[in-house]
Structure 1
């Protein structure tokens, strides 16, 4: 009798191998159907690159979720069988894959892409338990229960936000693939050891998705021979958004904060981009070259060095999320304060808020540098005098 753990390890390894074998075939297919990223002013690549790499990840994940795992998972819970649990995830993910694949071939406008995400997210809300139906206010707050209409809106908003946040950081070889492996692995550990209302199905699903992405990553790491494209970046972001919902609606406050910290890199980059563009008078959805990876490249880091730095930042976020789950309430609050302060300082140091927008660094300089403090006070007094005189 083969133990279940060994069977599952075999499934994970098989999923990784299928993704690795499918990727060269998907690369060939991408050239044939025109899913190719041609060089331009905003692109890193200098030659045409196939962009439907996410299809290989989806194929491996779907085979594992609908065929391999149902054959070894005989346990039935309130979701039914594992096949019943996984089928809506695969169907919704398939809609995202089709949407991304069409975009990689024809470059869809934002509205049709959004429509595909909305349809897929609606399937998740209707046919699964991945819903934003209640929320525990962190660090001592009450549990809030949402009516169905608000649960639907919040679920859709969360999934679409995470999907787009992950898609936004897809700017360098292996960036999204590596960051998602780190984030999902941490999410799997948290789901197994720390979630109050977790189930084994969630953990099993997370790690077969990790295996599918890991099988693709060697082809996508710099120098890449195939890109994720919107096919892959949207699919990975969508799945992370869906699977992280289990923590957001958990009854423990730390579990609510954990997925937000695990997704620190894409979420921080997205929030900062919105703030930066708003302050600059741009529309918040307009593309620019001020994302985290752009700024690190502009500081002189190599392509591979930039990716490794962002991997390290993602690992730090994940480590903090794990520490948060074993900390006291006071320790958790201090960790969160330190994390926010660290993110702000790093963002200002590398300039992703924009030129001359460094309020935290200016405050620290004011506190720790007497010359700067005296100069600032003198400038402030001078401005007050000028302002008073202008009113006379």
Structure 2
């Protein structure tokens, strides 16, 4: 279909979705509050300070469906409304899969499922979608077509899981996932239109984009309703499926274009995986190291959304232009520009890159070490993942102890989400002893959060030595002095807490002063009006 001819029903679809959201959100918000479907704040990682209604995803789902029907009806002619029943079966599969993941998300929002339970449900739903025919048989990357063969189904399922969780991980700050989702869907709609795909695919992406723009009215800072896991996972699934449909070229999927459009959520997910894997944390561990946390800390709530909107606009525009003019190198340029801005300005991803590059450097260096020097040659790396705490008084004595007693490895990992503080350091031999002959000691580290009496775990210290009478005596000595280590950590955390409290107090004073100035200016303006 001609791109110019698409303009009217695109605008109609956008308007229908936006208006539907303005009507639906107040109703859904009142329902969520009535049934107790709210997100309560915590002292660890959530940014809001009061209970906020969830179930925004339900409103997005309904509004997207309404706008899709309106767009299809308008495109096919109102008199031929029955044409909508001729939609291919893949649309009904997407409807069923979206409904299923929405229900799973609502259950999780209300009763909190375990991470593995959600992942299992996501896998089943993704496999149903792929089993219905939405499969990457081959991928086209920079002009080269790569057949996937027996890996077609696993790769397709993995792509959908990445999309689902990428949007879900971003949904941690007011308007963040909504803004990214709206720009991503807008980019997919333009990509589909530029590639000459069916009107239904363009309408679906446009409908979801319009619904998210309407939701942003209520979800922008300070938000009065959240998407919840139900909304973020449902949007992620739809985006993942539409990205596959929008980038089809003959029998292949053009990977570069949709990946470029989804570069921000995919980068956030990749960074989270690297951060947790490299530090030995659980993949389900929570922290304040995500893109929205760091952007909010650096630019503030509204500045965060402006930065995200600008980066998404850049990546989506370049992806669409690359397809329009068949210049794949533009996609690489756009992705490098977006990621380079985030990493080089140390806004996001810098610590994860240091962790990864450090691991790669040590791995490459190990090939140059002679066998007899493997036990004596050591690797040392320390990364301030977040914050600016001075960890040297804690870390340096550990390294000195390891050197003095010829240990194989000592490692510390700490994560205090409520302080935006994270630290990871490792000192180890190039070749560790075989696991069967290792003596391992792991000591949990604790700290007390403000306003709480009980200590909470914030990380661990791990020590590895060869199994021998001498090493066992050394580890016993280390355990005897573990309380001294804990005291040092507690002292550091207490100082960080006082510094953080002082910063918050100063920020509150600045906001109060700004509001007072606004009131004074406002009263002067009113007085001037009365005088005149």
Q: Above 0.5 in TM-score?
A: yes
Report Cα offsets for 1:289-311 as digits up to 9, x if no partner: 11122222333x21111121122
1:14 maps to which of 13, 16, 20: 16
Give the Cα–Cα distance (whole angstroms) in 1 for the partners of residues 324 and 110 of structure 2.
Answer: 46
- Matching residue of 1:38: 40
Does structure 1 conserve the Cα–Cα contact (< 8 Å) formed by 2:174 and 2:222?
A: yes
1:87 aligns with 2:123: no
- 1:163 is the counterpart of 2:164: yes
Q: Residues 173 and 342 from structure 1, CA distance in 2 versus in 1: closer, same or farther, beyond 3 angstroms? A: closer
1:189 Cα deviation (Å)?
Answer: 0.7
Aligned to 1:133: 137
Q: Deviations over 1:145-187 (max 9, x none)?
A: 534xx33322221111110011101111111111111111111
Which of the pair has the greater relative contact order for Cα pairs under 8 Å at 6+ separation?
A: 1
User: What runs of 5+ residues in structure 1 fail to find an aligned partner?
Assistant: 361-386
Which residue number corresponds to residue 524 of structure 2?
none
1:183 and 2:181 equivalent? no
Relative to 1, partners in 2 of residues 1:26 and 1:134: Cα closer, same or farther, differing over 3 Å?
A: same
| Other-structure match for 2:26 | 24
The alpha-carbon deviation at position 265 of structure 1 amounts to: 0.6
Distance 2:297 2:200 in 1: 43
2:9–2:74: 8 Å Cα contact kept in structure 1?
no
* TM-score, normalised relative to structure 2: 0.60
Secondary structure in 2 aligned to 1:152? helix
In 2, the alpha carbon distance for the partners of 1:296 and 1:36 equals 25
Q: Determine the structure 1 residue equivalent to 2:301.
A: 303
Residues 343-382 of structure 1: pairs in structure 2 closer than 5 A: 343-344=339-340, 346-348=342-344, 349-350=346-347, 352-354=349-351, 357=354
TM-aligned CA deviation for residue 201 of structure 1: 1.8
TM-score (norm 1): 0.80
How many angstroms does 1:272 deviate by? 1.5
Shift of 1:243: 0.6
Hey, what's the Cα distance between the residues in 1 that align with 2:251 and 2:325? 13
Shift in CA distance, 154/253, structure 1 to aligned 2, threshold 3 Å: closer
Which structure has the greater CA radius of gyration? 2
Measured in 1, the distance between the counterparts of 2:233 and 2:332 equals 29
The residue aligned with 1:378 is none
The structure-2 alpha-carbon separation of the partners of 1:287 and 1:81, relative to structure 1 and needing over 3 Å to count, comes to same
* Unmatched segments (≥5 aa) in structure 2: 358-372, 378-532
With over 3 angstroms needed to count, the CA separation of the structure-2 counterparts of 1:64 and 1:278, relative to structure 1, is same
Separation in 2 of the partners of 1:10 and 1:200?
A: 13
The corresponding residue for 1:62 is 65
Write the distance in 1 (CA, Å) between the matches of 2:334 and 2:188: 21
Q: Secondary structure at the match of 1:135?
A: strand
Listed as ranges, the matches of 1:214-225 within 5 Å are 214-225=213-224
**Aligned mates of 1:99, 1:226 — CA distance in 2:** 19
Give secondary structure in 2 for the equivalent of 1:325.
helix
Give the superposition deviation at 1:21: 0.5
Residue 351 of structure 1: CA displacement?
A: 5.1
- In the TM superposition, residue 69 of structure 1 has moved relative to its aligned partner by 2.8
For residues 253 and 333 of structure 1, do their structure 2 counterparts lie closer, same or farther at Cα, with a shift above 3 Å needed? farther
User: Do the aligned partners of 2:127 and 2:157 also contact (CA within 8 Å) in 1?
Assistant: yes
Residue 230 of structure 1 aligns with which residue?
229
**In the TM superposition, what whole-angstrom CA distance separates every residue of 1:92-138 from its partner, at most 9, and x where no partner exists?**
110011011111111111122123322322332233x43222222x2
> What number of residue pairs does the alignment pair up?
355
Query: Structure 1 pair 71/304, CA: closer, same or farther in 2 (3 Å)?
Result: closer
Aligned-CA RMSD value? 3.3
- From the two aligned structures, give the one with the greater helix fraction: 1
2:259 aligns to what?
260
* Residue 321 (structure 2) aligns with: 323
Say which structure is richer in strand: 2
